[in-house]
Amino acid sequence: MSASPDEPAREGAPAADAEGAEPLDPAELDPAELDQAISRVEHELGRLFARIRVSWREAAQTVHPDLQPLGYQVLTSIATGKATSAGAIIERLQTDKSAVSRHVRQLEHLGLVESVPDPDDRRARVLVATELAQERVALARSRYEERLGERLRRWSAQDLDHFAELLAAFGD
């Protein structure tokens, strides 16, 4: 992703001096070049998001042929313990209550999720992934991680670190 010391910086990459100093202020860059670079980033983000959606669809199919990508996201939220109630899933996935309810019902019907008493508040219930769900999610994750690893192992550790830094900065 980043240019090696003996390669020129890629088009649209932040300009830096030969010793890797801080990038130039964007105001100092040619506005037309900057606009072109931003358009390329937007295009590449669109391609990346499309690949991610394909990966979710493939992962959902690995878990169960009838499972939709959003259902897979609901399931992984439950299986990882990151969201164990409908409200938490809605907040985590930024989706509507009816969609979450529909997918939770399907997951229960498929034997992938159970509603059990909350150990901290016996009046409430929490969603837990069944052993079958944990196995299938682990299989889907391993396939995804294998494909991702194949792509990323083509890069140097320096490029991977730089990519991770850029992603973190972009996400802030």
CB 108 within 8 A of CB 46: no
Question: In the prediction, which pLDDT does 23 show?
Answer: 65
Say what the pLDDT of residue 27 is: 67
pLDDT at 76: 96
How far is residue 50's CA from residue 59's CA, in Å, rounded to a whole number? 14
Give the per-residue pLDDT at 44: 95
Helices (H), 4-118: 31-63, 69-79, 86-93, 97-109
The predicted pLDDT at position 22 comes to 64
Interstrand relation of 113-117 and 125-129 (parallel, antiparallel or unpaired): antiparallel
**Helix H or strand E segment including 133:** helix 131-152
Give the tens place of pLDDT for each residue, 23-61: 667 667 788 888 999 999 999 999 999 999 999 999 999
Question: How many CB atoms sit inside 10 A of residue 86's CB?
Answer: 17
Kindly report the number of other CB atoms within 10 A of residue 159's CB atom: 15
pLDDT < 70 regions, the chain: 1-24, 26-27
Structural contact between residues 127 and 77, judged by C-beta atoms closer than 8 angstroms: no
142's tokens: 């391993």
